[in-house]
Amino acid sequence: MKIIWHGHSCFEVSDKVTVVIDPHDGKSLGIKTPSVRADVLLISHDHFDHNCSRVVKGDFVTMREPGKKELKGVKVLGLPAYHDDAEGTKRGKVTLFRFDIGGIRFCHCGDLGQDLGDQQVQALGKVDVLFVPVGGVFTLDGEGAQRLVDRLQPKVVVPMHFRIGGLSLSIQTVDGFLAGVPENRVRRVGNEVDLEKEDLPEDTEYWVFSP
């Protein structure tokens, strides 16, 4: 299968079906507009930099809310969480999406802004690939994201929602999140990577996508 980063928090995971998560229009953020086709579209919350379904092509089905569904053969769990550390009073709610493709379990955290509680961690269960925001200001910062990694113990951590060249949002770069991570556990993978279940590392690796 392929994992492709389309900037910010937008990812495409493709095997027999293609799942796209949190599309943006590009120009509102100062970055490239995603060119993407989906079978399943997951939208973590209704903010402009995560909900631009009009840029997505294809005959796709969309899930925005918490719950359990099977969409075009993909099992999806939507788990409610908060966009901030004040029970949603600042920025509202988000939906974390856990989904299974090709025997690999993915979790996309959207604009998560809180430390997850024990019940939320238990509900998520085993996670192989974790997409986690690290830029702070509107989401978890590097320290908060690392606390989540420590609790979930995924095989692969993919940081997202951090500052890159051209991005108009005043958020932090990925560097603070990676501070203290041994260099031999960090992989720079460009904007696209092939992945099969047998390729998952034994110990947690940090895969940093770039434009």
pLDDT of residue 141: 95
Predicted confidence at residue 101, as pLDDT, reads 96
Instruction: Give the CATH number of the domain where residue 34 resides.
Output: 3.60.15.10
Domain that holds residue 185: 2-208
What pLDDT sits at residue 86?
86
**What does the pLDDT profile of the chain (211 residues) look like in tens digits?**
999 999 999 999 999 999 999 999 998 999 999 999 999 999 999 988 889 999 999 999 999 999 999 999 999 999 999 998 888 888 899 999 999 999 999 999 999 999 999 999 999 999 999 999 999 999 999 999 999 999 999 999 999 999 998 888 889 999 999 998 999 999 999 999 999 999 999 999 999 999 7
pLDDT at 49: 86
Q: Give residue 173's pLDDT.
A: 95
- Determine the pLDDT at residue 166: 84
So what's the pLDDT on residue 96? 98
| Amino acid 48: pLDDT | 87
- Contacts of range 32-38, beta carbons closer than 8 Å, 24 or more positions apart: 32/6, 32/7, 32/211, 34/6, 34/7, 34/10, 35/6, 36/4, 36/6, 36/10, 36/12, 38/12
User: Which 3-state string (H, E, C) describes the chain?
Assistant: CEEEECCCCCEEEECCCEEEECCCCCCCCCCCCCCEECCEEECCCCCCCCCCHHHEECCCEEECCCEEEEECCEEEEEEEEECCCCCCCCCCEEEEEEEEECCEEEEECCCCCCCCCHHHHHHHCCCCEEEEECCCCCCCCHHHHHHHHHHHCCCEEEEECCCCCCCCCCCCCCHHHHCCCCHHHEEECCCEEECCHHHCCCCCEEEECCC
Give the integer Cα–Cα distance in Å for 54 and 137.
Answer: 27
Q: Are 58 and 19 in contact (CB under 8 A)?
A: no
- Give residue 12's pLDDT: 98
> What pLDDT does 197 receive?
95
What integer pLDDT is reported at residue 211 of this predicted model? Answer: 79
Taking alpha carbons only, the member of 66, 118, 125, 120 closest to residue 100 is 125
Looking at the whole model, is its pTM more than 0.85? yes
Query: Tell me, what's the pLDDT at 87?
Result: 86
Pairwise CA distance, residues 189 & 191, whole Å: 6
Number of domains observed in the structure of the chain: 1
